[in-house]
Structure 1
Amino acid sequence: MNEQYKQLGVSDAVLTYGETILASLRERFDAIDAIAEANQLKVINAMQKNRVAANHFNLSTGYGYDDEGRDTLERVYADCFGAEAALVRPQITCGTHALALALGANLLPGDELLSPVGAPYDTLEEVIGIRESVGSLKEHGVSYRQVDLLPDGSFDLDGIRAAINEKTKLVTIQRSKGYATRP
Structure 2
Amino acid sequence: SKGYAWRKSLTIMDIKEAIEAVKSVKPDLIVMVDNCYGEFLETLEPTDVGADVMAGSLIKNPGGGLALAGGYIVGRSDVIELIAYRLTCPGIGKECGLTFGTTRSILQGLFIAPYVVSQAIMGAIFCARLYEKLGYKVNPAYDAERSDIIQIVQLHSADELIKFCEGVQAAAPVDSYVTPVPWDMPGYDDQVIMAAGAFVQGSSIELSADGPIRPPYNVYFQGGMTYDHSKMGSLKALQQMNIL
Q: Which has the larger radius of gyration?
A: 1
Task: Give the TM-score normalised by the residue count of structure 1.
Answer: 0.24
Quick check: which one's helix share is greater? 1
Q: Which one has a larger percent strand, Structure 1 or Structure 2?
A: 2
**Given the two structures, how large is their TM-score scaled by the length of structure 2?**
0.20
